[in-house]
Structure 1
């Protein structure tokens, strides 16, 4: 019997690892061995994370990448990594380092080399950037800020429910690092996009996403133009940044599953 690759889900800013629970169940039913592992310092529950934001503060992109690389090193085979937002950036870094069999990067944060920075993305991250001291803090969103950044393509009621269930404070440091990426030759947001030997990569974009607009994902795709490794892109036109957790999550998850199966994974 062939070995099935484990699957590691990596969340982004302002969401807790448990937000992947429905995906975990679906992938387990499909025969995979999934796990949703939190960022370094992240408490086990949403409630704990809200009560103790200092535990999450001041972790940067390299810290998070190293954290997942250590977890992967304990596995018998390379996992499939599926990440959302900054988790999508981390997934690409792990894939570029040949630590993953394949990656799905959903509305992934901008990597080094990506130039478009639409106004909606700036507005989504303003709660962090308005104070330089937030680089070393964990910052929470209000329900209204969450609606703009995540829930703009669902009803106000659903956005509120998602905020109440999954939203946690997020470290500001990754955002500051990503913002400075194109001015820093050693930026932690750099991904080995030229790796010819890496596994397949799927980039997913939501057409209504304010936080990571489609232009960012299209520009990310161009960064891979010098590699002949499989790099695909798929757009969900009517979806926004909440696409992994809102009522339409299954469509995104099932597309990801079918793409993995088409690539014999």
Structure 2
């Protein structure tokens, strides 16, 4: 049984509780897991929504600060962790891997780092509001339910969509969202790295599979272990979408090789 630590990195628009079932699943299989919250988001989704839109501490958070937050956590561990991130957390995972802070890494439906232009209409439709152009950066952004339906839980029954929204959706910093357009989101695609798996879902609107595939293809083939896997029938709510255990099993089997 492995005793390695898995560091789960949370994406935007949700709380770290999106990893609760994955943590339990990995714990039962011999891993030590941690899923630290973002700065100023250590609460339930309902509690965080009560602060909307005047949570100035969260509103002031930048992408660089968020990446450094997780980098500091990784460095403080006794050994390099396996880092697994979802969405924006996937991009952060790629950056932490690039900083040589991971023993292996998995980027699940990852937001593309700088250098990959996300021209897909569904990506722009899903994320435009979070950029908050022409709105105050002192106010946080809360994804409306209609956008959540399109961006995260498309093709799911309405009752499940509403339950997921209530359970997970939280306000977000527009500064973090805009950081994805800056050098804060940059990494060196030519640098050798520890094993990396990138996954995508055929139903994902916010991060379409072909956007993930372009992310994968951006890496230079330099002898580093690099793999890509597309799962049919998976939307962006992949961490809690019914059948998530199949994705978790694939990830577990992959990291067990390294």
| TM-score interval, smaller chain | over 0.9
Is the partner of 1:133 in helix, strand or coil? coil
Residue 85 (structure 2) aligns with:
83
Shift, 1:147, TM fit: 0.6
Q: How does 1:48-63 map to 2 (within 5 A)?
A: 48-53=47-52, 54=55, 55-63=57-65
- Alignment partner for residue 69 of structure 2, among 64, 67, 70? 67
Q: Distance in 1 between matches of 2:131 and 2:63?
A: 17
Residue 195 (structure 1) aligns with:
191
Q: Distance in 2 between matches of 1:192 and 1:59?
A: 24
Checking the alignment, whether the CA contact within 8 Å between 1:72 and 1:79 is kept in structure 2 is: yes
What is the root-mean-square deviation of aligned Cα atoms in Å? 1.7
Q: How does 1:1-265 map to 2 (within 5 A)?
A: 4-53=3-52, 54=55, 55-129=57-131, 131-133=133-135, 135-178=137-180, 180-181=181-182, 187-196=183-192, 198-261=193-256, 263-264=257-258
Shift, 1:241, TM fit: 0.5
Q: Distance in 2 between matches of 1:256 and 1:89?
A: 17
Shift, 1:136, TM fit: 4.8
Structure 2 gap segments, 5+ residues each: none
Q: Distance in 1 between matches of 2:83 and 2:212?
A: 18
Q: Distance in 2 between matches of 1:114 and 1:164?
A: 32
TM-score by length of 1: 0.91
Checking the alignment, whether the CA contact within 8 Å between 2:201 and 2:230 is kept in structure 1 is: yes
C-alpha spacing 1:121/1:72, structure 2 compared with 1 (3 Å):
same
Is the partner of 2:224 in helix, strand or coil? coil
Is the partner of 2:7 in helix, strand or coil? strand
Checking the alignment, whether the CA contact within 8 Å between 1:16 and 1:45 is kept in structure 2 is: yes
Checking the alignment, whether the CA contact within 8 Å between 2:234 and 2:241 is kept in structure 1 is: no
Shift, 1:3, TM fit: 6.7
Residue correspondences, number: 255
Structure 1 gap segments, 5+ residues each: 182-186
Shift, 1:58, TM fit: 2.7
Checking the alignment, whether the CA contact within 8 Å between 1:140 and 1:169 is kept in structure 2 is: yes
Is the partner of 2:106 in helix, strand or coil? strand
Q: Distance in 2 between matches of 1:259 and 1:136?
A: 42
Checking the alignment, whether the CA contact within 8 Å between 1:116 and 1:219 is kept in structure 2 is: no
Is the partner of 2:185 in helix, strand or coil? coil
C-alpha spacing 1:257/1:3, structure 2 compared with 1 (3 Å):
closer
TM-score by length of 2: 0.93
Is the partner of 2:59 in helix, strand or coil? coil
